[in-house]
């Protein structure tokens, strides 16, 4: 186990960014064929050859770079358990598979390090947009020059949550899953605009000040949210349940409850 690396969240986030870029390259190479030939998993969700190719690359890379750290991924290790491990990695090798199949560009590769139930470093990469977000002690966005380029981290742009504008909140919402409970939450608040987005890009929209809050009062899995959660916290935001309690990771079945991803909004005034 590489303890010196693990002690530096920004270095871990950049490592995850490099791995996510390699996985993204594999996704883009098989994208046309994979998107046109999806399969259905036992839980009814779709999976493609791109999901599986990305999963294999990430697992192999993590085994070499961070040996000994348990890895839970949606596609190959979802039935595994971390056995109360204080430190483990959560991976969604292709978040937004439905968007991917539909031809949308809003799908991502998500990798996050969890320590004592909290995401402390993460990377979110959108291969079709060539946009990378990393978060550890700090949060950054990087525009990748080309699909095959290595990330040049000296060109990263720091990102930070913003104060909400006076006309009301700009709310990030799921492009595919705007459920009734989330809509009711939105209706109870002063909202200026809804900003639909796919995958974990909703967390990133709040992290870089393009939105103010992302409520999700519907089912998600921990690998869906951990990397975006890490980026948002590094940018000055937080993720809580509707009562203001922090959400944690490593729960039985890796299933999240309802959550709200906040920018700089004062929760006492919600």
Domain 169-269: state its class: alpha beta
Question: What secondary structure, in 3-state letters, does 32-60 show?
Answer: HHHHCCCEECCCCCEECHHHHHHHHHHHH
Distance CA 261, CA 173 (A): 11
Whose structure tokens read 């720091």?
Answer: 158
Domain ranges in the chain? Answer: 3-158, 169-269
* CATH dotted code for 3-158: 3.30.540.10
Structure tokens at 132: 């990378």
Mean pLDDT of 207-214: 98
76 band by pLDDT with thresholds 50, 70 and 90: confident
pLDDT of residue 268: 45
pLDDT of residue 52: 95
The angle, 0 to 180 degrees and rounded to 10, between the axes of the packed helices 9-35 and 222-234 is 140
Alpha helices in the chain (DSSP H): 3-6, 9-35, 49-65, 97-102, 180-187, 201-207, 222-234
Structure tokens at 3: 């303890």
By three-state DSSP, how is residue 24 classified? helix
Q: 226 vs 79, which has greater pLDDT?
A: 226
Distance CA 100, CA 254 (A): 23
pLDDT of residue 83: 61
Distance CA 16, CA 202 (A): 19
Rounded to 5 degrees, φ, ψ at 11 are -65, -40
Q: Kindly tell me if the per-residue pLDDT of 254 is higher than 70.
A: yes
């Amino acid at each position: 186990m590489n303890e010196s690396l693990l002690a530096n969240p920004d270095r871990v986030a950049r490592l995850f960014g490099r791995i996510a870029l390699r996985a993204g390259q594999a996704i883009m190479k098989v994208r046309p064929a994979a998107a046109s030939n999806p399969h259905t998993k036992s839980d009814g969700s779709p999976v493609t050859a791109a999901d599986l190719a990305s999963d294999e690359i990430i697992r192999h890379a993590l085994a070499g770079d961070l040996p000994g750290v348990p890895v839970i991924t949606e596609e190959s290790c979802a039935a595994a358990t971390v056995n109360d491990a204080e430190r483990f990695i959560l991976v969604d090798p292709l978040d937004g598979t439905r968007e991917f199949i539909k031809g949308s560009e809003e799908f991502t590769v998500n990798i996050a390090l969890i320590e004592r139930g909290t995401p402390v470093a993460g990377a979110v990469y959108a291969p079709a947009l060539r946009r990378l977000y990393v978060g550890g002690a700090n949060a950054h966005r990087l525009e990748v020059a080309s699909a095959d380029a290595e990330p040049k981290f000296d060109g990263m742009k720091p990102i930070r949550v913003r104060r909400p504008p006076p006309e009301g909140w700009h709310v990030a919402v799921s492009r595919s899953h705007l459920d009734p409970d989330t809509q009711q939450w939105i209706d109870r608040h002063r909202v200026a605009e809804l900003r639909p987005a796919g995958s974990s890009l909703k967390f990133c929209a709040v992290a870089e000040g393009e939105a103010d809050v992302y409520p999700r009062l519907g089912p998600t899995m921990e690998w869906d949210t951990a990397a975006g959660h890490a980026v948002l916290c590094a940018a000055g935001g937080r993720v809580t349940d509707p009562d203001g309690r922090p959400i944690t990771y490593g729960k039985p079945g890796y299933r999240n409850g309802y959550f709200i991803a906040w920018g700089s909004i004062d929760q006492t005034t919600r």
